[in-house]
Amino acid sequence: MSMMALIAAGTLGAADPKIQDVTSRNFQDVSFTARVGSANQRELAKINEDFANSYRFKASNVWIKEPLKLRMESKVEDTSIFFIVNGTTRLVRIPKARINQKEDLSKSPGKRQTPLDFGLLPPSLFRDFFQGKFVRTETRGDFAGCHVFDLTYVPSLKDGTRHRVWVDPKTRFTAKREWYSQFGGTLMATFVYDQAKEFNGVWIPTRATVRNADDKVGGTTSYSAVKVNQGLADSLFKVD
């Protein structure tokens, strides 16, 4: 090889990873029970009040299915609450209070709870919803070796919220996420997902810890009774 060719090869180098290189391509669906281990309402409220209130539900049953379908069932004392997101539609049902509220979130992407909130990156997140930009490969600390990406909503959604994620390229497991506000880009919270286990070819975290912008722990959540790719019925996510 000529000297000019060697210089050209060194200059070009390897192409940067793409977000599609680290998505959970084998993921189809998952169900689990999310249990709050600890919750410091004072520190959680520094993130925002709605987020803090979500930690008042001590246990929730969760079902997630591609593409972008989510169902959560929680109970507070003797009151059951059903929360379903199917695409751009969200349904909240509280039978005892006769509440059956359906909302179109097509212009409010930040209200659409997605698998990302649980540390999952299925391919559907990057079909007209998020776009991913490679930042670097981490070289130091607990997340060394992870690819770092900035996730932003596609321009048509007109929301400046940003998430930065650290993903293990071998297991496609999201180990860390930083959430930045759409106004001013200030850090809202940092999530660390750990105790990962492989279920049916997909790596899933079994614990999540959230810290606020002051680096104070707001709460911890554990995931148990995890079942992956069991063929969940679409009827679970009906919003009609």
The first and second tokens of residue 49, run together, are 């009040």
| Residue 219 pLDDT > 60 | yes
pLDDT digits (tens, 9 = 90+) for 52-65: 999 999 999 999 99
Identify the three-state secondary structure at position 54. Answer: helix
The first and second tokens of residue 19, run together, are 């977000």
Helices in the chain by DSSP H: which ranges?
Answer: 3-12, 41-45, 49-54
pTM of the model: 0.91
Would you put residue 172 in left (φ > 0), alpha (ψ -120 to 50) or beta?
left
Q: Taking all residues of the chain, what is their mean pLDDT, rounded to a whole number?
A: 93
Domain 17-226 in CATH 2.50.20.10? The answer is yes
Rounded Cα gap, residues 63 and 212, in angstroms: 27
Kindly indicate the confidence band of residue 221, based on its pLDDT and cuts at 50, 70 and 90: very high
pLDDT digits (tens, 9 = 90+) for 67-98: 999 999 998 888 899 999 999 999 999 999 99
CB 34 within 8 A of CB 119: no
CB 179 within 8 A of CB 158: no
